[in-house]
């Protein structure tokens, strides 16, 4: 049995930088405040809490002498203005690729287009993109796109972690109802690479393990991608959830990947446990 690990498994650079900035701010100021969790991963959140990161519901709860960290997936202009008025010390961890989405969307607004975001309703990144402009529409599926009326001019961006297939089918539907349609593909390149590697590994391996929190929409999406290609695909949030019965004698190759909110330590413990179950002595190979 051998193990192949996807090169882009785990933290994307946006999340990696945000987590690092949170630790640095907590270290420098004793505490750092955030409006919501930095990633959808219980272990990361718990470790950060121990280091001094505190989650609050509003800026009013942030002490004046402590920093507030604005997370990787973007913050509304209203919150930025409120933080500036309160003279809070803002640690800006917004991913530059999310900032690009905001810029593209504002350009589309200047072109007087009907603004459409393809993304998950209620997701923080989608809320952040929507807050950049007036009256955007959020759609998550082809069924929702079908409910839209005809439009003269529309501009479309997508949440950075969307699946390309979902975005393509929604854009196809929109093409039938919009005369002048501008679409900018804002699925970020770490997401595209991660999705591509999972698809290929699931197709080529006998067993596929996707590591990620069950509270993360992104990790569930990755598991779905794997399952569509390989019925022997399983999601685990940590090594203890691996089941020995998955590793039958017919399993010669195990593929491993992880969602963008899964830290390196958890990935490593899963690899170690798979090596133990499969009695593998060789080092895992990396799939690019
Ligand atoms: S998923 Fe993409 S856009 Fe979002 S934080 Fe990571 S790199 Fe940035």
pLDDT for 221: 87
- pLDDT tens column, 91-139: 999 999 999 999 999 999 999 999 999 999 999 999 999 999 999 999 9
CA of 187 relative to ligand 1 center, distance in Å = 9
Residue 43, pLDDT above cutoff 90: no
DSSP states of the chain as a string?
Answer: -EEEEETT-S--HHHHHHHHHHHHHHHHHS-EEESS-SSS-HHHHHHHHHHTEEE-SSGGGS-TTSEEEEPTT---HHHHHHHHHTT-EEEE---HHHHHHHHHHHHHHHTTPEEEEES-TT-HHHHHHHTTSSS-EEE-SHHHHHTS--EEEEEEEE-TT--HHHHHHHHHHHHTTEEEEEE-----HHHHHHHHHHHHHHHH-SEEEEE--TT-HHHHHHHHHHHHH-SSEEEESSGGG--GGGS-TT--EEEEEE-TT--HHHHHHHHHHHHHHTT--SPPEEE-
- Provide the residue range defining the domain that includes 27: 13-95
Residues with CB under 6 A from ligand 1: 12-15, 72-73, 95, 97-98, 160-161, 188, 190-191, 260
70 and 104 co-located in one domain: no
104 and 177 co-located in one domain: yes
Last residue of a domain, which of 135, 167, 187?
Answer: 187
87 and 102 co-located in one domain: no
Report the chain's mean pLDDT, rounded to a whole number: 95
Last residue of a domain, which of 95, 116, 146?
Answer: 95
Report the number of distinct structural domains present in the chain.
3
The single residue of 100, 103, 125, 284 carrying the catalytic annotation is 125
CATH of the domain at 86: 3.40.50.11270
CATH of the domain at 173: 3.40.1010.20
239 and 160 co-located in one domain: no
- Would residue 111 show up in a list of annotated catalytic residues for this protein? no
The whole-number average pLDDT for the span 255-277 is 95
Query: What does pTM read for this prediction?
Result: 0.92
Residue nearest to atom 2 of ligand 1 (CA): 188
Last residue of a domain, which of 142, 158, 187?
Answer: 187
The whole-number average pLDDT for the span 45-50 is 93
């Amino acid at each position: 049995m051998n193990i192949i690990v996807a090169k882009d498994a785990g933290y994307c650079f946006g999340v990696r930088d945000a987590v690092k900035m949170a630790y640095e701010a907590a270290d420098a100021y004793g505490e750092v405040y955030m409006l919501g969790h930095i990633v959808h991963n219980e272990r990361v959140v718990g470790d950060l809490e121990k280091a001094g990161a505190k989650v609050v519901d509003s800026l009013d709860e942030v002490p004046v002498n402590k920093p507030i960290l604005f997370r990787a997936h973007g913050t509304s202009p209203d919150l930025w203005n409120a933080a500036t008025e309160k003279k809070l010390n803002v640690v800006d961890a917004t991913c530059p690729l999310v900032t690009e989405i905001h810029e593209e969307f504002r350009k589309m607004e200047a072109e007087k287009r009907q603004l459409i975001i393809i993304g998950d309703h209620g997701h923080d990144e989608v809320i952040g993109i929507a807050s950049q402009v007036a009256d955007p529409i959020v759609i998550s599926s082809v069924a929702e796109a079908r409910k839209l009326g005809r439009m003269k001019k529309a501009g479309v961006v997508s949440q950075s972690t969307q699946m390309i297939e979902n975005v393509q089918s929604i854009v196809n539907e929109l093409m039938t109802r919009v005369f002048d349609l501008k679409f900018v593909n804002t699925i970020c390149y770490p997401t595209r690479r991660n999705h591509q590697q999972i698809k290929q590994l699931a197709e080529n391996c006998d067993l596929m393990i996707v590591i990620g929190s069950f509270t993360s929409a992104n990790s569930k999406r990755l598991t779905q991608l794997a399952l569509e290609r390989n019925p022997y695909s399983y999601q685990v949030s940590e090594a203890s959830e691996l089941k020995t019965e998955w590793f039958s004698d017919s399993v010669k190759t195990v593929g491993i990947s992880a969602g963008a909110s899964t830290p390196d330590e958890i990935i490593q413990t899963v690899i170690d446990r798979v090596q133990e179950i499969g009695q593998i002595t060789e080092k895992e190979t990396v799939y690019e």
